[in-house]
């Protein structure tokens, strides 16, 4: 807690990182360079976003050259990274933990299994707990969303896309996924309590498409969520995971990433206000 001229200010101890996916179609190398130049506290490595991201020796060299820490590792569990590091999902998680250890990261982000990964899903809740206990690396399961089709919702994940009622120890809150699921990130943050360990800061407009907008441009009340994190002394990582693919120049991409960083810093150091002020529209 620090004192400002107009009253108390609560500052979160959270580090603010940049996901390497946020610079796509630029490279993992570009993410390290931009994170350093813009002033991020570190990066989250999205394994498999390009060949370098799956080569931990190369990532170590980027980390050391740019002097930008790796805060967290996103396991290759997306549809587009299903073949990265082989086909066995448990081996992928074990390799993710080893990568985190080598890179001095403390968190691995993982999605719930797809519905066709039935054997993996059967022991998933207990398995991620076991990996956390055995490796000392936090495995934080990310909230997802229902897949919407013309025929209705498709059950794409097992045991489900919403981790709220599941027995996970550590959770990652993605604002864009919450928006696509027609949820509110502030409600999830409050419901999860101490299980909330990691943030993917972004935004959405409630579209069926996972948008990953710059925070503050969508419907997730991102500023209020960050203020809530500051008030509860959240000490996990806040990682900007935004989609800049439509940026028509490097300068526009940098502008979006600089705006995202400034937004996070502003609202993670926020004047203390009564609870009703945070809950108001």
Report all structural domains of the chain as residue ranges with CATH numbers, in order of start.
2-279 (3.20.20.150)
Long-range Cβ pairs for the range 145-153 (8 Å, 24+):
145/177, 145/178, 145/180, 145/181, 145/210, 146/181, 148/208
Would you give the distance in Å from CA 109 to the centre of its chain?
7
* Element (DSSP H or E) covering residue 93: helix 89-103
pLDDT over threshold 50, residue 98 = yes
- Are 278 and 229 a contacting pair, CB within 8 Å? no
Q: Which phi-psi region, left, alpha or beta, contains residue 231 (left: φ > 0; alpha: ψ -120 to 50)?
A: alpha
What is the share, in percent, of the chain residues with pLDDT greater than 70? 92
Q: Regarding predicted confidence, which is higher, 26 or 6?
A: 26
Kindly report, residue by residue over 216-250, the tens digit of the pLDDT: 999 999 999 999 999 999 999 999 999 999 999 99
* Element (DSSP H or E) covering residue 119: helix 118-122
203-216: average pLDDT: 95
134: its two tokens: 């055995």
How many angstroms separate the CA atoms of 268 and 278, rounded? 13
pLDDT tier at 37, thresholds 50, 70, 90: very high
How many angstroms separate the CA atoms of 190 and 212, rounded? 22
Mean pLDDT estimate for the chain: 92
| Those residues with Cβ within 8 angstroms of residue 91's Cβ, 6 or more apart along the chain or in another chain | 85
* Element (DSSP H or E) covering residue 135: helix 124-135
pLDDT over threshold 80, residue 279 = no
Neighbours of 60 (CB within 10 A): 15
How many angstroms separate the CA atoms of 264 and 68, rounded? 18
92-96: average pLDDT: 98
Helix (H, G, I), strand (E, B) or coil at 271: strand
pLDDT tier at 9, thresholds 50, 70, 90: low
End-to-end CA gap in the chain: 26
């Amino acid at each position: 807690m620090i004192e400002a001229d107009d009253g108390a200010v609560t500052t979160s101890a959270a580090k603010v990182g940049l996901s390497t996916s946020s610079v796509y179609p630029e490279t993992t190398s570009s993410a390290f360079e931009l994170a350093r130049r813009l002033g991020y506290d570190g990066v989250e490595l999205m394994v498999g976003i390009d060949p370098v991201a799956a080569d931990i020796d190369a990532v170590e060299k980027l980390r050391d050259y740019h002097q930008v820490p790796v805060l967290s590792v996103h396991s290759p569990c997306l549809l587009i990274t299903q073949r990265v590091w082989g086909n066995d999902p448990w081996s992928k998680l074990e390799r993710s933990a080893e990568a985190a250890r080598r890179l001095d990261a403390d968190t691995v982000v993982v999605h719930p299994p797809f519905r066709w990964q039935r054997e993996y899903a059967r022991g998933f809740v207990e398995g991620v707990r076991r990996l956390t206990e055995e490796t000392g690396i936090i495995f934080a399961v990310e909230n997802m969303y229902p897949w919407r089709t013309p025929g209705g919702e498709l059950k794409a994940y097992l045991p489900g896309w919403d981790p709220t009622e599941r027995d996970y120890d550590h959770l990652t809150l993605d604002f864009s996924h919450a928006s696509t699921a027609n949820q509110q990130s502030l409600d999830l943050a409050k419901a999860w309590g101490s299980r909330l360990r990691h943030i993917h800061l972004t935004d959405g407009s409630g579209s069926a498409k996972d948008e990953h907008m710059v925070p503050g441009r969508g419907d997730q009340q991102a500023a209020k969520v960050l203020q809530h994190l500051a008030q509860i002394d959240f000490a996990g990582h806040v990682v900007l995971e935004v989609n800049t693919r439509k940026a028509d120049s490097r300068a526009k991409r940098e502008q979006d990433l600089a705006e995202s960083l400034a937004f996070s810093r502003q609202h993670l150091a926020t004047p203390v206000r009564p609870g009703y002020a945070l809950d108001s529209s």
